[in-house]
Amino acid sequence: MLYEEIIKNVKLAGGMINNTAASESEIYNKEGFSNFVTDYDKKVQDFLVRKMKELLPDAAFLAEENEIQQSLGKGDCFIIDPIDGTTNFIFDYKNSCISLGLAKRGEMVFGVVYNPYTEELYTAEKGHGAYRNGNRIHCSTKGLEENIAAFGCARYNSDDTDLIFDFAKCLYLHSLGVRNGGSSAIDLCRVASGSNGIYVELLLQPWDYAAASLIINEAGGKITQIDGSKIFLDKPCSILAGGSICWEESLELWKSLI
């Protein structure tokens, strides 16, 4: 019932950006080059925070906008990216999503990622598998050479530009090709459904990957930091996520690069 209510509200939040031209919104600059936020990011987040508080009044929140960054704590914590893919939203790419995860005692228990443009709803409850629109999904069980590799890079994290592009080239040479979709949460969910064999990005925030991390784990894949260590939900991480064989092969490629 709780999870059904969460899904209902995430879909409503998706409806707030679908059929919306970002040109109708104010666009503001955040810290760093090419780092934007719109009124819609804030509106969607305010809506979700209000609705989630009605469902779990004692929950903490870790959310991208408006500096709602409470600690995960020992109870429930919602980890929310109101629009993942804000630049895509501004440029009408129709490849953005709402990402909402629920952690209990610091561990993910529920995750939902909704792309309102394609109406793809990815969900996972701990121990109960991963789903897209109600159908079970699984990570790829094949290697890189039989898969697409995806990567992300943001201009405002440009310190590691050479490194991520060197790695992307390396993945390109060992896979069927590379993609860069502009929404890390969608690309991570595409790992869970087997569309992407691997996804890599240096320096993501917990709201980018929290919900998708459970979806990937429940789809039989691996999501770790880039060096193979466990991810954190309360601080930024560089992420390597894939089906188990792609993940192992990519980790080896990464190690050979640095």
Which CB, 84 or 249, lies closer to ligand IPD?
84
Sole residue written with tokens 């929950």: 59
Give the interface segment with Ca ion, choosing from 42-50, 136-144, 166-174, 206-214 (CB under 5 A).
206-214
Distances (CA, A) of 104 to 79, 107, 110, 190, 218: 11, 5, 9, 25, 17
Residue 218 binding result from Ca ion, ligand IPD, none, given CB thresholds of 5 to 8 Å by partner type: none
Give the interface segment with Ca ion, choosing from 114-122, 125-133, 203-211, 231-239 (CB under 5 A).
203-211
In the chain, which residue ranges form alpha helices assigned H by DSSP? 2-17, 39-55, 86-90, 161-174, 184-192, 206-218, 244-257
Q: Minimum distance between the CB of residue 115 and ligand IPD, rounded to whole angstroms?
A: 13
Which CB, 140 or 157, lies closer to Ca ion?
157
Query: What per-residue string of b and e applies to 25-63 under the rule 16 or more CB within 10 Å gives b?
Result: bebeeeeeeeeebbebbbbbbebbbebbeebbeebbbbb
What the block records as the tokens of 159 is 């310190």
Q: Minimum distance between the CB of residue 35 and Ca ion, rounded to whole angstroms?
A: 6
Name the site residues for ligand IPD (rule: CB under 6 A): 64, 81, 84-86, 152-154, 182-184, 201, 204, 208
Pick the closest to residue 98 from 6, 32, 29 (CA basis).
Answer: 6
Q: Minimum distance between the CB of residue 19 and ligand IPD, rounded to whole angstroms?
A: 19
Q: Minimum distance between the CB of residue 205 and Ca ion, rounded to whole angstroms?
A: 6
Binding-site ranges for Ca ion (CB under 5 A): 64, 81, 83-84, 208
